[in-house]
Structure 1
Amino acid sequence: MIDFTIIGGGIAGASTAYHLAKKGYAVRLYDRNDTGKATEASAGIICPWVSQRRNKKWYALVRESAKYYPEFIEALKAETGLDSGYRREGSISLFKDDHVQELAFKRISAKQADAPEMGTVRKVSREEVAQMHPDLTDLYPGVLVEGGGQVKGAELLKALKAGFLKYGGEWINGEFDPSNASGTLIYATGAWGIEQQHEPHIRHQRSEVLHFRLKDSNNKQPRPVVMALGPIYIVEMGINQYAIGTTHEDTDSFSAEPSEENYRYLRDLAERYFPDSTIEDIKMMVGLKPYARDFLPFIGAVDDRTIVINGMGATGLTASPLVGREVANHLTGQDTVLDLNDFSYL
């Protein structure tokens, strides 16, 4: 007998499945593997403390999520032997001038008391930015958060799937048939949540990311994540390989084809931030990121048998591992760190 049926094989669905199976429950997951899944295209920045969002419920979610990451990754790697690409080389946020840098430093460092896992926070001069990231432009001062990190979404998903299967889970590549449903249903269908008839209402954005390499760079050391102006991010994906993004386009389309306009925009940004380098394109990637009301994730019951996890948006890779654990704990009568009532707002 199946205790839980999960529909959706992104990070949120896979994390929930993994945590439930690890507790000894019978879990079946259906994954349609739709093209455009946000997991595949995200650069996976784990540095929520630099955000200027004022929503306290959202910040509590991402702060606890970043805190959970090292423990979660260590356990998952021990269980599967797989590397998710998680590493903490710090994060540099760039600012247009010294005045804005000072304001940002005060804002970010004020969060340390409640989030010691963010590590040291300090201002870095233009010269220090160039020392830490030699190929990057030296036009802007920055703020370094030493606890900032990154994870590779596709690799993390492989590790979660392997962990889920190790604990006896059943992963089905294909369409879910409601007539064969068993146990509690958990929908984690991302942008495709619009196909379900129940609330909450889900909308989505197309986000495009350019992957490229620096052909003439000899740097071998890992580089920190860069939160550039815009806001734009630059994330090292391999030796002298980077992803720069992202665009945000409200849409009803489920096309995952890159646009020439957004390619040109991101390519121009890459040339702006690496002005002395020869840039070679690798690929463009498109992810469809789901959003619910007020850009706040929805986590809750929509009827006596159905749970929905959706609307993770741009923080899906940061928050989904913790959300999976919290939902698993809630459904099995264990304590949660978060008050899930904050995210069940129907």
Structure 2
Amino acid sequence: MKIAVIGSGITGASAAYHLTREGAEVVIIDKAHQGQATAAGAGIICPWISRADHKDWYTIAKRGALYYPSLIANLKQDGEEDFGYGMVGALAVSSSSDELDAIEQSVRQKKAETPEVGEITRLTAEEARELYPPLREDLQAIHVTGAARLDGRLLRDAMLNGAKKHGAAIIEGEGDLVFQNNKVTGVIVNGEVIAADAVIVTAGAWAKDLLNPLGIDLKVEPQRGQIAHLEIGSMDTSSWPVVLPQSSHYLVAFDHSKVVVGATRETGSGFDYRLTAAGVKEVLDEALTVAPGLAESTLKEVRIGFRPAGPDILPLLGTVPAAEGLVIATGLGASGLTMGPYVGTLAADLALKREMEIDLTPYDPLRKGLEAGVK
């Protein structure tokens, strides 16, 4: 079976890797757009502590987190070693005891059904700073050991390398769908028609324009995120936990004294690829409010990524009855690195026409209520 994958971000790379390991013939097509979300994002794998309170979101985010150990093991089998992955735990921080009480109750409920949440500990402000020294002095925390972080770029590259080792071809160029008699039969790229039994569209925020010629009005748009990368002297930051304040921002430490802080969520930005004074100020103000000890760190770079944002918090994942052979997997928004690799495996299984392990109805890309549809 020959399958084309359009878009090689975290979801597309995972779909391609999964397919090649299953013996499918795979062609990956990618335009290498500026602002791909995977390349910009900091990878937080911790659905246990989340401001998102939605059963269907949690179902897929939880499975996304639980999929990582087997994915990492498979990649290591294939000779890939470098993903920036570490099970470092997470701190939910707040100066409000009431807020932390509610978070602790929620996390303990999740642990009752998912032991992988790990150990849950209430920390004083002083204990929290022992784990993350730059924290503000009044911030207490809930510490959860079953949280991880990773480098999205490195993981994507590892999965693409793995797919190539299993025979995948990668073509750089703009892919257009070949559509006739209500069936997608391949992709045109660089003037060449590549026939395929199925096409998986994992083109992120660019999926909307790709599907428009088929009369499919996909409700996804780019949401700009600006993410700052700091370097903090010669401190060993490799085991610092992810820090999750009670906002949409975060702090993620990596090896080599690197701390990533973000991120803006600029709905309505379009594909406006540039740093803004207000965006960089927001990111740094939020980070320094939570961790003033980062004030003297070096600002190494600020990355820009366009999250594929749907009208709600759920991914856009599934097939389209009016376009046989087409699989859509996008709209992961700010959850791309949490659930992207797992969503990629689901998209691959859809293309292979396998029985699905979960009900995908809530994630239907043209589901009722999105005002999306086929024109």
**Which TM-score band applies after superposition, normalised by the shorter structure?**
over 0.9
CA–CA distance in structure 2, aligned partners of residues 165 and 49 of structure 1? 34
Residues 24-43 of structure 1: matches in 2 within 5 Å? 24-43=23-42
Whether contact under 8 Å (2:5, 2:199) holds in the other structure is: yes
Gaps of 5+ in 2: 177-186, 367-375
Gaps of 5+ in 1: none
Correspondence 1:186 to 2:227: no
CA–CA distance in structure 1, aligned partners of residues 12 and 237 of structure 2? 36
CA–CA distance in structure 1, aligned partners of residues 90 and 153 of structure 2? 21
CA–CA distance in structure 2, aligned partners of residues 82 and 8 of structure 1? 23
Residue of structure 2 equivalent to 1:332: 352
Residue of structure 2 equivalent to 1:243: 260
CA–CA distance in structure 1, aligned partners of residues 223 and 237 of structure 2? 35
Correspondence 1:202 to 2:220: yes
Residue of structure 2 equivalent to 1:167: 166
**Which is richer in strand?**
2
Correspondence 1:263 to 2:262: no
- Per-residue CA deviations over 1:298-339 (Å, capped at 9, x if unaligned) read 111121121111101111111111112222233334443322
CA–CA distance in structure 2, aligned partners of residues 91 and 344 of structure 1? 32
Q: CA deviation at 1:340?
A: 2.1
Residues 1-346 of structure 1: matches in 2 within 5 Å? 3-177=2-176, 178-179=187-188, 180-183=193-196, 184-195=198-209, 196-197=211-212, 198-215=216-233, 218-219=235-236, 222-277=239-294, 278-302=296-320, 303-346=323-366
Q: CA deviation at 1:345?
A: 5.0
Residue of structure 1 equivalent to 2:371: none
CA–CA distance in structure 2, aligned partners of residues 126 and 314 of structure 1? 28
Q: CA deviation at 1:221?
A: 5.2
Whether contact under 8 Å (1:77, 1:83) holds in the other structure is: no
Secondary structure of 2:20's partner?
helix
Change (3 A) 1:100 1:74: same
- Per-residue CA deviations over 1:192-237 (Å, capped at 9, x if unaligned) read 112121232212211111111223x544552000002323200013
CA–CA distance in structure 2, aligned partners of residues 230 and 318 of structure 1? 18
For normalisation by structure 2, the TM-score amounts to 0.87
- Per-residue CA deviations over 1:57-100 (Å, capped at 9, x if unaligned) read 11100001111111111111221333111111100010122222
Whether contact under 8 Å (1:22, 1:164) holds in the other structure is: yes
Paired residue type of 2:333: G
Secondary structure of 2:78's partner?
helix
Change (3 A) 1:228 1:246: same
Whether contact under 8 Å (1:204, 1:289) holds in the other structure is: yes
Change (3 A) 1:334 1:304: closer
Paired residue type of 2:282: Y
Change (3 A) 1:50 1:270: closer
Secondary structure of 1:130's partner?
helix
CA–CA distance in structure 2, aligned partners of residues 307 and 201 of structure 1? 15
CA–CA distance in structure 2, aligned partners of residues 248 and 220 of structure 1? 26
Whether contact under 8 Å (1:77, 1:159) holds in the other structure is: no
Secondary structure of 2:300's partner?
strand
Whether contact under 8 Å (1:96, 1:229) holds in the other structure is: no
- Per-residue CA deviations over 1:125-155 (Å, capped at 9, x if unaligned) read 1111011112322221111110011110000
Secondary structure of 1:35's partner?
coil
- Per-residue CA deviations over 1:260-295 (Å, capped at 9, x if unaligned) read 111122223333334345121111111100122422
Q: Mean Cα displacement is larger for which, 102-111 or 251-260?
A: 251-260
CA–CA distance in structure 2, aligned partners of residues 275 and 340 of structure 1? 43
Change (3 A) 1:203 1:82: same
Secondary structure of 1:54's partner?
coil
Secondary structure of 2:81's partner?
coil
Paired residue type of 1:39: T
- Per-residue CA deviations over 1:4-54 (Å, capped at 9, x if unaligned) read 111111111111111111111111110111010000111000001111323
Paired residue type of 1:257: R
